[in-house]
Structures are given as C-alpha cells and as structure tokens.
C-alpha cells in the first residue's frame, strides 16, 4: 500500500447523512474550566490531514515543522464579559472547586503529583492548531500499581506494557463540548516512526489505532490521531486500570441500570440485569467487555460513554464534593496512575474534568466516529473502517470549533 498522501479516494455511493444526537443543555451549575490565559490565534490554515484512503486536499508541506512556539496549546477566542447571573454561577463553581481541592495545601500537593511524562512539544511535524481546546483522553490497560493478586481479581492478565482500552477526543470551546470515541480497532495510517526499543525506523503504514500506542506509546498515538483526524491535540491524559478502579471505589461505586445480563469471561464481567451499584472491579469489567456486544468495539465505546456519564453524575453530587473523606481519596486515586503532557497543569486538568462532566451530563455531545464498516477484513484481523466523508465533516467541525452536524 502506498503512502496515505498518494492514495486515491474510494468512489461510490455515499452513505446516509450523519445526524449526531443533540443533548439539551444541562440545568446544573457549571464550575469554571480555569483554562490557561487567552492567546492570539494563528492565521487560519487550509490544511486538513487526510483520512486513510483519502487524497491530500492541500499541497504537501503545510504542516507545522517543529514545536508549537505557544507550547502546543490550541488558540482561543476572546471571552465575552459575563453578566451578573453568570458571575454568580462562576463564584459558586469556585466554591465547589475549593471544596474538592480542600485548600491551598491540597492544591499544591495535587499539582506536584502530576506525572507530566509526555512531551507534545517534541513531536516534530504536526497539524496546525485549531480553535478551542482538544484533549486526547486515553484509558490504558497498564497494570502499574496492581499486585499479582489484583491482576488475578480484575482479570487483567499479566501482559506487560500498555495498550489502549479507550481513546476519546474531547473538544471544548465557544460551540460547546463534544466527546468523540475512537474505536481502538479503527483502521488508520500510522505515520513514520522509530521503535523506541530498537531504534529501527518504519515507514507510514496502515494498522489499527491500538497498534500506535503499543508500538510507540503516547507520542505515536498522538501523531496518529492528528494525522488521521486533522485535529491538533492540545493536552494528553491517560489513566490505567488501578486509577480507574480506585476512583470508582473512592466515590462509593457507580449506579447503572442494565437491560440484560452482562457476562464476559475475558473481562470477568458477571452482572445481572437491572439497576445496581458497580464497584471498581465490576465497573472495569463492564467497560472492557465487548464480545457480548453485537457491534463489538463500537458497542464497547458506547458502554464506556454511558458509564462515564454515570460516574460524572456520582462524582459531582454535593455529598461527594463536600465530604473530604470522599473527595480527597477520589483525587488521590485519580492521580496515582494518571499520565499527562508537560504542558498540563492542575487548572488544565480541572478544565478537562469539567468538560467531561458537561459532555456526559447532558450539557454537551457524546458521539462515536462515523463508521462505514465495523468488520473490515485486514491483514491485521477485523478492524473498524471510518466513513471518510462523514468523519471528515465531524473532524472539520471540531478543528474549527463548530457544532457537528
């Protein structure tokens, strides 16, 4: 297969128009995102990174050729002056944030515990910055922090290294908040890369999205997502199994109603039908299972979004926020296996959590990338083929901070 910039498109009948679900605005109070200071936006670019199998819409050489001089952050539009009512809401949000952080001492403690091991500024050639802010949120199957007994109890296996269990683009800006799940089996084009273990170089080639993470870690995953979506990643956040289980247990479990029993030998899921409270181990098994889902990896991404919505509702309740015995362990559990980029400070992380809450709480949009074939036969096994035309429209909207659709 030739390099992605030279590949012809696939003519044929276009699939039906994609109409994303639009959730009504949430009536809940929204704490401020505490985003970094506003920076002047760069001149607009006409460059769009092609999807796999799509020709390049612009001449080569329009990518940024080095680290972003602004530190890799996306541009933002000037904020409008808030009216009295919105100022009251923001004040309430600050008070809620103060309850969560438990004072300046806790803030400093949390800030020093951030594991900023991903250097987005060293990635080299990248797509141009867009409007608003885009986070790449990754749930990995890292076993770090788990004992041998934990691994057995959680059915995680003993595989070393890290692979993705979920990949989410979370965009927030003037047009609102949008969460887009990217199936880990998505058939994409990996950019050229050097194996960090052997030093051997590889040319661009088609593969599953999950392969980017297992072969080159967060760096290659970010470059792969940017190349195939055209959307610049401003911040990276990854949490492992131990952190996920710890957060769920710290909030006292998460309430979820299941329309049918969920049983999966590989993930360890064994849940009856009906409404129930899932502890950390049960929640992990639920979001990992996919073999019982009719649409496989796509069904798993929908379950993940559904569970994140339930977790956000539980974590944002007054009883959770106002109780230090709950809020502090939740914060600690989340930070224990959290990995972020070097440009992410605690205010950026709080902005990510707030954007996640909006997207899953009815004040934003929860979408899956449009799919043309959920069972594409490839040399690497069954994969998920994106609908190129509809996916392009979605990613263009994110990059330009427009409502999708």
Q: What is the pLDDT of residues 304-348, one digit of tens each?
A: 788 888 887 777 677 666 676 776 777 777 777 788 999 998 888
Top-ranked range on mean pLDDT: pick from 6-15, 163-172, 273-282 = 273-282
Residue 93: C-alpha distances to residues 25, 100, 104 (Å): 17, 11, 16
Top-ranked range on mean pLDDT: pick from 51-65, 223-237, 239-253, 313-327 = 223-237
- Integer Cα distance of 24 and 205 in angstroms: 41
- Integer Cα distance of 277 and 261 in angstroms: 14
Angle, alpha carbons 402-40-342 (nearest 5°): 90
Mean pLDDT of 42-69: 41
Answer whether residue 213 shows pLDDT above 50: yes
Q: Which residue has the higher pLDDT, 59 or 145?
A: 145
Mean pLDDT of 106-125: 81
Percent pLDDT > 90 in the chain is 33
Answer whether 342's CB lies under 8 Å from 121's CB.
yes
Mean pLDDT of 280-303: 77
53-59: long-range contacts at Cβ-Cβ below 8 A with a sequence spacing of 24 or more? 53/4, 53/7, 53/8, 53/9, 53/10, 53/388, 54/4, 54/7, 54/9, 54/388, 54/392, 55/5, 55/6, 55/7, 55/8, 55/9, 56/5
Answer whether 376's CB lies under 8 Å from 382's CB.
yes
Confidence at 264, pLDDT banded by 50, 70, 90: confident
- Which class for 81: exposed (0-12), middle (13-18), buried (19 or more C-beta within 10 A)? exposed
Answer whether 221's CB lies under 8 Å from 210's CB.
no
Q: Which of 12, 21, 4, 36 is nearest to 347 (CA)?
A: 36
Answer whether 388's CB lies under 8 Å from 54's CB.
yes
Confidence at 47, pLDDT banded by 50, 70, 90: very low
Q: Which residue has the higher pLDDT, 98 or 149?
A: 149
Mean pLDDT of 139-149: 61
- Integer Cα distance of 386 and 142 in angstroms: 27
pLDDT for 188: 97
Q: Dump pLDDT digits (tens) for 75-86.
A: 444 444 455 555
**What phi and psi values does residue 90 have, to the nearest 5 degrees?**
-65, -40
Mean pLDDT of 212-225: 93
In whole numbers, what is the pLDDT of the chain averaged over residues? 74
Answer whether residue 272 shows pLDDT above 80: yes
pLDDT for 212: 93
pTM, two decimal places: 0.67
Mean pLDDT of 270-288: 89
Q: Dump pLDDT digits (tens) for 12-28.
A: 444 333 444 444 444 44
pLDDT for 12: 41
Torsion 368-248-359-127 (CA) sign: negative
């Amino acid at each position: 297969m030739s390099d992605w910039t030279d590949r012809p498109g696939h003519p044929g009948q276009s699939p039906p128009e994609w109409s994303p679900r639009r959730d009504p605005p949430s009536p809940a109070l929204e704490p401020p995102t505490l985003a970094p200071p506003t920076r002047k936006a760069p001149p607009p670019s006409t460059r769009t990174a092609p999807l796999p199998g799509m020709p390049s819409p612009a001449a080569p050489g329009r990518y940024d050729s080095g680290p972003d001089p602004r530190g890799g952050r996306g541009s933002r539009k000037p904020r409008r002056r808030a009216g009295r009512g919105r100022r009251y809401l923001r004040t309430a949000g600050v008070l809620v944030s103060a309850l969560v952080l438990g004072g300046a001492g806790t803030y400093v403690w949390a800030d020093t515990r951030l594991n900023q091991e991903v250097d987005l500024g060293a990635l080299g050639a990248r797509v141009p910055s867009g409007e608003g802010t885009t986070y790449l949120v990754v749930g990995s199957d890292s076993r770090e922090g788990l004992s041998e007994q934990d691994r057995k109890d959680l059915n995680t296996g003993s595989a070393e290294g890290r692979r993705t269990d979920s990949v989410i683009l979370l965009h927030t800006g003037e047009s609102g908040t949008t969460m887009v799940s990217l199936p880990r089996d998505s058939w994409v084009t990996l950019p050229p890369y050097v194996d960090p273990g052997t030093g051997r170089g590889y040319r661009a080639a088609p593969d599953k999205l999950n392969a980017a993470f297992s072969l080159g870690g967060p760096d290659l995953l970010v470059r792969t997502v940017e190349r195939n979506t055209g959307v610049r990643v401003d911040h990276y956040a990854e949490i492992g199994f131990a952190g996920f289980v710890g957060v769920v247990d710290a909030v006292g479990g998460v309430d979820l109603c299941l329309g049918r029993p969920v049983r999966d030998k590989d993930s360890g899921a064994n849940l009856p039908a009906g409404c129930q409270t899932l502890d950390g181990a049960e929640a992990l098994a639920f979001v990992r299972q996919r073999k019982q889902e009719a649409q496989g990896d796509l069904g798993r991404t929908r379950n993940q979004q559904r569970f994140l919505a339930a977790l956000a509702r539980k974590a944002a309740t007054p009883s959770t926020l106002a109780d230090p015995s709950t809020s502090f362990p939740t914060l600690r559990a989340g930070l224990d296996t959290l990995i972020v980029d070097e440009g992410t400070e605690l205010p950026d992380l709080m902005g990510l959590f707030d954007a996640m809450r909006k997207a899953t709480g009815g004040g934003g949009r929860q979408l899956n990338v449009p799919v043309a074939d959920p069972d594409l036969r490839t040399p690497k096994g069954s994969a998920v083929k994106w609908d190129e035309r509809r996916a392009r429209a979605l990613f263009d909207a994110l990059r330009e901070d427009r409502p999708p659709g």
